[in-house]
């Protein structure tokens, strides 16, 4: 839960900071109880440094979500490695044909990791009435 209280990480992702442990615990409980989604902890040695998830969108499409929560491990290629492994799992074992994602257009490090993993930019998506008003949609096909 400490990762979701990290100001730098929040600015790179949703932009919405939640400080209540109870609210965060409920959010995580709901995430891991989703029967069609897959969640993985990213380990470096025995240390948990991040999280990657494949969220079911349709029979053919999954959405990937990733964070490197431990700041000292960011920018070292570990996110790219995790994305590639998750994509392989999504295509080879889970039967998806396409993976999509949303990323903040100013999150250059994440976009670079996605592009190194084969994702291509699709379009900008606008959200009205939220702090995070624009996201970049990206896609990777089998």
Q: Give pLDDT tens digits along the chain (142 positions).
A: 677 666 777 666 665 666 677 776 777 777 777 788 999 999 999 999 999 999 999 999 999 999 898 989 999 999 999 999 999 999 999 999 999 999 988 888 899 999 999 999 998 887 766 555 677 888 999 9
Q: In what order do the strands lie in the sheet with 98-103?
A: 38-44, 47-56, 61-68, 98-103, 134-141, 120-126
Dist. CA 121–CA 64, nearest whole Å = 14
> Is residue 47 helix, strand or coil?
strand
Structural domain for 104, as ranges: 2-141
CATH number of the domain bearing residue 44: 3.40.630.30
Quote the pLDDT of residue 29: 76
Quote the pLDDT of residue 16: 62
Quote the pLDDT of residue 38: 93
Dist. CA 45–CA 130, nearest whole Å = 38
Do residues 113 and 101 make contact, with C-beta atoms less than 8 angstroms apart?
no
Do residues 94 and 62 make contact, with C-beta atoms less than 8 angstroms apart?
yes
Domain count, the chain: 1
Quote the pLDDT of residue 82: 96
Taking 3-state DSSP, the helix, strand and coil percentages for the chain, each rounded to the nearest 5, stand at 35, 30, 35
Quote the pLDDT of residue 131: 57
Quote the pLDDT of residue 22: 79
Quote the pLDDT of residue 18: 61
């Amino acid at each position: 839960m400490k990762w979701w209280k990290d100001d730098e990480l929040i600015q790179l992702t949703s932009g919405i900071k939640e400080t209540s442990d109870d609210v965060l615990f409920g959010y995580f409980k709901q995430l891991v109880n989703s029967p069609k989604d897959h969640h993985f902890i990213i380990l470096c040695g025995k240390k948990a440094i991040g999280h990657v998830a494949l969220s079911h969108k349709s029979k053919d499409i999954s959405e990937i979500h990733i964070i490197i929560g431990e700041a000292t491990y960011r920018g070292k290629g570990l996110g790219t490695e995790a994305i590639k492994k998750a994509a392989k799992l999504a295509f080879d074992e889970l039967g998806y044909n396409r993976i999509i994602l949303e990323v903040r257009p100013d999150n250059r490090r994440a976009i670079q990791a996605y592009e190194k993993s084969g994702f291509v930019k699709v379009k900008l998506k606008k959200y009205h009435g939220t702090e995070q008003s624009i996201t970049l949609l990206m896609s990777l096909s089998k």
